[in-house]
């Protein structure tokens, strides 16, 4: 279990094609993991996921712990059985949600602000659902993920915001090390799932490198880069990814957390990243925004592929009479049925779930077909 094989290493860059053996099946990398926050990729059925080409989904520990509860899910056979998804699942540790949702500040009643409190033992936080107090520790984060029974579990880390000072980031890096050791101990107790350590270090090169060296020393089968895409510029994301991929063990798959714009995926694959997750394609769809191939001025280039793309919002009035579909060559069901932009706009305006569903399918298909294009180029050593 958890064997990683490099099937092809590009001669042009650090990009590679590989496979990871997981308890619920084999995943071919580079891979994109759609986010199924509460155990469903919003509006999609399992058939939709399979048709798009999804091999592994991500579920959020924080949300599932609060509702319906990890113990309930364990009782009903684990998350795969509960949601009837027989392919791999990765769960995050919940740390990111605890720290990032409004920087841990929650307001339930007027003038009642509560902020998450970080200590060495763990984090005291307040549920965004009902304001109830909870205490999360590295051990507890692992226990919850064991109850969910996911294929890949993430270590509980401290993820400081992009605005954090060097001193704050240095402390977070040190604490993340110590917390990883505790996660590892807990993971070895019974279940022994693939536990993934996370590199922190913000925008500080020496801290990132130190954190990566620590990751290399662990026996973890996958190594993750966290704390990117937390509000910094694209240039900074690339810079940090380059520093980390320069130090991280190349024999293990590397997971860049939370990065998902097409151009960011393409550049990161070139730097040797193998795994991605991001809420963008699904979240944008819910706001009427789609990614389409385009030659129009202002379209964005994607490294290594021969097309550009644009992000458009179908709620704009200019699409009111537009009878064209999004992309005639796209294989997704929205484009295959040639639903017009006018009709899609109407569905979105009426808040018909069908509209969001179709846009979600299209955006994910866009990402999956981009990765398929990139893989072909890696195989031909032209990437
Ligand atoms: Zn489409």
User: 92, 151, 157, 264: which one is catalytic?
Assistant: 92
92 is catalytic: yes
CB atoms under 10 Å from CB of 168, counted, come to 14
Q: How far does residue 263's CA lie from ligand 1's centre (Å)?
A: 18
Phi, psi of 273 (to 5 degrees): -80, 140
Are the C-beta atoms of residues 106 and 167 closer than 8 Å to each other? no
Angle at 252 (CA atoms; ends 2, 89), nearest 5 degrees: 45
List the pLDDT tens digit at each of the 383 positions of the chain. 799 999 999 999 999 999 999 999 999 999 999 999 999 999 999 999 999 999 999 999 999 999 999 999 999 999 999 999 999 999 999 888 887 654 455 555 666 667 788 899 999 888 878 878 889 999 999 999 999 999 999 999 998 888 889 999 999 999 999 999 999 999 998 767 899 999 999 999 999 999 999 999 999 999 999 989 777 889 999 999 999 999 999 999 999 999 999 999 999 999 999 999 999 999 999 999 999 999 999 999 999 999 999 999 999 999 999 999 999 999 999 999 999 999 999 999 999 999 999 999 999 999 999 999 999 999 999 99
Q: How far does residue 237's CA lie from ligand 1's centre (Å)?
A: 28
d(CA 201, CA 242): 13
Q: What is the domain partition of the chain in residue ranges? A: 4-278, 285-379
Q: Is this model's pTM higher than 0.85 or not?
A: yes
d(CA 237, CA 320): 37
Q: How far does residue 339's CA lie from ligand 1's centre (Å)?
A: 10
167 is catalytic: no
CATH topology of domain 4-278: TIM Barrel (3.20.20)
């Amino acid at each position: 279990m958890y064997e990683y094989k490099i099937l092809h290493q590009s001669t042009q860059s650090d990009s590679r094609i590989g496979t990871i053996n997981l308890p619920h099946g084999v995943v071919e990398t580079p891979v994109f993991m759609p986010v199924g926050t509460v155990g469903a990729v919003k509006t999609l059925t399992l058939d939709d996921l399979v048709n798009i080409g999804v091999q592994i989904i991500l579920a959020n520990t924080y949300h599932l712990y609060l509702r319906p509860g990890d113990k309930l899910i364990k009782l009903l056979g684990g998350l795969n059985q509960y949601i009837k998804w027989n392919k791999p699942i990765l769960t995050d540790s919940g740390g990111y949600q605890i720290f990032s949702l409004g920087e841990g500040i929650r307001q339930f009643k007027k003038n009642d602000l509560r902020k998450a409190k970080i200590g060495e033992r763990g984090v005291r936080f307040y549920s965004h659902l009902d304001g109830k107090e909870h205490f999360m520790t590295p051990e507890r984060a692992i226990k919850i993920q064991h109850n969910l029974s996911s294929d890949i579990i993430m270590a509980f880390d401290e993820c400081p915001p992009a605005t954090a000072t060097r001193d704050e980031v240095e402390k977070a890096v040190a604490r993340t090390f110590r917390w990883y050791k505790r996660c590892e101990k807990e993971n070895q107790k019974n279940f022994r799932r693939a536990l993934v350590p996370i590199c922190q270090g913000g925008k500080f090169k020496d801290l990132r490198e130190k954190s990566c060296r620590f990751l290399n020393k662990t026996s973890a089968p996958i190594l993750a880069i966290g704390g990117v895409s937390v509000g910094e510029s694209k240039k900074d994301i690339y810079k940090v990814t380059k520093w980390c991929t320069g130090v991280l063990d190349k024999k293990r798959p590397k997971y860049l957390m939370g990065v998902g714009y097409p151009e960011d995926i393409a550049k990161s694959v070139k730097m040797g990243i193998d795994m991605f997750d991001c809420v963008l394609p699904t979240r944008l769809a819910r706001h009427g925004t789609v990614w389409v191939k385009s030659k129009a001025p202002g379209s964005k280039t994607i490294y290594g592929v021969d097309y550009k793309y644009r992000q458009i919002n179908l709620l704009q009035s200019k699409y009111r009479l537009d009878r064209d579909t999004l992309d005639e060559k796209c294989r997704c069901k929205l484009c295959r049925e040639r639903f017009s932009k006018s009709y899609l706009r109407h569905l979105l305006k009426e808040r018909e779930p069908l509209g969001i569903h179709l846009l979600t399918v299209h955006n994910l298909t866009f990402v999956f077909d981009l990765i398929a294009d990139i893989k072909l180029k890696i195989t031909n050593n032209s990437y």
